[in-house]
Structures are given as C-alpha cells and as structure tokens.
Structure 1
C-alpha cells in the first residue's frame, strides 16, 4: 500500500467521498482478540472496522478490548459508532470530528456496506488518504 497523502481541509472536495480512504482494512467478528491487540501495537492504528462480508457491523478501539479475554472480537464491537455516507458534505465530517473528538470515521452506504474511512492526520489539520 502506498504511503498516505495529506489533504488540507481548505483543499478538500465538497463530499466525504473526495477525502475518504478507499478499501479500508476490516476484520470479521470471529477475529481473535489477541490478533486485534497485535494490530493495535502499531501507533497509526486507532480504530478497527468490523464487517461481516461487506456489511459494516461496527468498530473496536484499544479501550474496547477486555483485559483478560482472548475469545472473538464480535461481542466487543461498538455498533453505535458514528458513520458518514459517501455523499455527505465534508463539513459534516469535520463537525463529527470536533463533537466526538474522533480521528477516524467509517463511511457506510444506506445498505450498511463499508465504503471507506475518513481519517485525520496527526496534527488534525488535514485528511489522510492513499493516492488514487
């Protein structure tokens, strides 16, 4: 995968689809918690997306992981994580980032299909995407 490109907010297109990472990595609900812990060892991983096929189920953060359980991640998935639609305005993403103090927001269609991920860079001054 190519390194990320940063798009300053003022240079972003009008819609979420213009600033989202395509084909974000996701895991299934049967993924072992130990594997999720290993993935979170990378400081750039802030959020795990959980899908059943193409259907978005929710997310998991480091804080959602139980201290002493090594079963599947499914029971710990947060289905209440805010999401965006590809045609939502970029301003809506910025509002969510500010209101919820988030740095990653899943992009999901009306049919619950995971389409992408909107990501802020470390300084929270630009969107990060992979070159298209």
Structure 2
C-alpha cells in the first residue's frame, strides 16, 4: 500500500501574516534553519514564501527592503496536498511542477509541509538527498 502524506510530512509549519516585514521573515528562516514559511491570513493559507523568493522578488529590486512585506514576496497560487493524499500524488505534483515543498492543508488550514527531503528519506534513507536532509546545518 502507498504511504500517505501524513506519514512523512513535517508537522507544525512556520506561518506568518501577510503584513509581516520581509526582514522578520528572513530572521525566522535563519533562526529556525528553514527555507520556506507559509503565509496565513485568518487561519487560511494565502501563500508560500521561500528564501529564494526573498532574494529574487525583494533583495534584487532597488529600494528599502525593510519597508516591504511578505505579501509582496510570496507565491499566492500555492499547490497543496492533504494529509490523507497518497505520497505518490505529492511526488507527481512536485515533479510535474518543479516544486521542492508542498504545504499540507486540512480543511483549509495548514498542518504541515512535505519536502523533497521528506520524500527521499521515505523512499531511500541511504540516498544522497536523504543523507543531506539528515545532516546538521552548517550555520
């Protein structure tokens, strides 16, 4: 039987409000050693912002980054999966849309995140990506 997303996802995704300053989001990513946070408004998922989004959409632009909010940096059309979805479906979505992360949403509310690393660890714990995922961060 195919694994479900709930079996491999990381619980308790980090969330921020749309009006959160990007500088605060960057600090959260640094402090928690993560590359993405979910943008939530009224308990509902409204977007996803990655460290790359901050670089490309905010830092690469001229102007004062400290005056910018995460709403300006996030991807608003987020592809999601549910905890009960087959892991194969999540992998197909990731492959088909070139995604590294998928928010896991239950009844409109984010409950987790499934990443390429999560999938790698589940599929083959000895593969290079699984070992990289398990390694200590090099801060």
Q: TM-score, normalised by structure 2?
A: 0.68
- The match for 2:46 among 35, 52, 57 is 57
For structure 1, which runs of at least 5 residues remain unmatched after alignment?
A: 1-11
Q: 1:98 to 1:56 in 2, by over 3 A?
A: same
Q: Which runs of 5+ in 2 are unaligned?
A: 123-129, 131-139
Greater RCO, 1 or 2 (C-alpha within 8 Å, sep 6+)? 1
Aligned: 1:32 with 2:21: yes
Aligned residues: 115
Q: Is the 8 A contact 1:46 1:104 kept in 2?
A: no
Asked whether the 8 Å contact 2:37–2:48 carries over to 1, the reply is yes
Flag the structure with higher strand content.
Answer: 1
Cα offset for 1:13?
Answer: 5.8
**Structure 1 pair 34–98 and aligned structure 2 pair: CA distance change class (3 A):** same
Which stretches of structure 1, 4 residues or more, deviate above 4 A after TM superposition?
none
Report which of the two structures shows the higher radius of gyration computed on alpha carbons: 2
Residue of structure 1 in register with 2:37 after alignment: 48
Q: What do you get for the CA RMSD once the two structures are aligned?
A: 2.6
C-alpha contact (below 8 Å) 1:107/1:116 kept by paired residues? yes
What are the superposed Cα offsets for residues 99-124 of structure 1, whole Å, 9 maximum, x if unpaired? 23322210113x421121112329x6
